[in-house]
Amino acid sequence: MISLHGTVEVGSFSRGLSIDVGSEIVGMFGANGSGKTSVLRTIAGLCPLGEGELEIDGVTVDAPAKHLFVQPELRNIGMVFQDHSLFPFMTAVDNAAFPLQMRGMKRVAARKLAAEMLEQFGVANVALQMAPTLSGGQSQRVAIVRALIGSPSAVLLDEPLSAIDEESRESVRNQIREHLVRLGVSAIVVSHDRAELDHLCTRIENYTR
């Protein structure tokens, strides 16, 4: 459960937001520059909340008035970044295994699980390729695996299908939905493509400026 009531800093301005996300996939629709990514960054703990309160799974993680701020590494969030942000010095499978290793799993076991999940997302063939050699679509699939693999409490997806070609989009979308439903977590998907959100999400929030 994500509960955000307050103001989010979006570059030089801030805007108010009130959103509650249960075990569902909420789409956040809005034009470029409207601050959708800033909302995700605030929930992830990469930007502090301007004012108000943010709760994840019933725990307050950001409340400026109470001088409370929980660091991102303690929030147990899975996130797909808009530019994927795969580590360039690692292979695809090592990138995907990273969250598991951060949760204390041994490297061999983490890589095995990561390889299985890469296969589900159709990128097992590039598992041993270094991240910079992946195509946009392959890189995005690895980023999706990386966000879902560590059993996070909440999943944030920033334009998660933008680099995936039309033919594979539906299958990747179904995989994402299946995993999110199985995890039973709160998920927020940000996109400027309304049709994409309609296909993937259970509810849409309009976030135009």
Partner 1 sequence: MNSVSSRTPRFVRIGALLGVVFLALPVVGLLKRVAWSTLCRQLTDVATRDALRISLYASVCATVLALVLGLPLAWCLARMQFSGRRFVRALVLLPMVLPPVVGGVALLGAYGKSNGLLGGLLNSLFGIQLTYSLWGVIIAEAFVALPFLVLSLEGGLRSIDVKYEESAAVMGATDITRFMRVTLPLLKPSLVAGLMLAWARALGEFGATITFAGNIQGRTQTAPLAVYTMLESNPEGAYALSFLLVAVSVGLLVGLRDRWIGGSS
Residues of this chain that bind partner 1 (CB under 8 A): 44-46, 71-73, 75-79, 81, 83, 85, 87-89, 98-99, 102-103, 146, 150
CB of 45 to partner 1, least distance (A): 7
The tokens 């680099």 sit on which residue? 163
CA dist list (Å): 121 to 70, 91, 138? 32, 16, 9
Minimum Å gap between C-beta 201 and partner 1 is 21
CA distance 200 to 178: 10
Identify which of 169, 164, 158, 177 has the alpha carbon closest to the alpha carbon of residue 80: 158
Q: Residue 71 or 208: which CB sits closer to partner 1?
A: 71
Minimum CB distance to partner 1 smaller for 150 or for 160: 150
The least distance separating partner 1 from the CB of residue 181, rounded to whole angstroms, comes to: 22
* Residues making up the chain, counted from first to last: 209
User: Buried b / exposed e across 68-90, counting CB within 10 Å, b at 16+?
Assistant: eeeebeebbbbbbbbebebeeee
Q: Which is nearer to partner 1, 45 or 137 (CB)?
A: 45
| Phi, psi of 29, rounded to the nearest 5 degrees | -110, 135
Q: CB of residue 72 vs partner 1: minimum separation in angstroms?
A: 4
* SS3 of residue 79 by DSSP: strand
- Measured CA to CA, the distance from residue 181 to residue 145 in angstroms comes to 15
- The least distance separating partner 1 from the CB of residue 71, rounded to whole angstroms, comes to 7
Q: Which is nearer to partner 1, 46 or 204 (CB)?
A: 46
Q: Which is nearer to partner 1, 19 or 70 (CB)?
A: 70
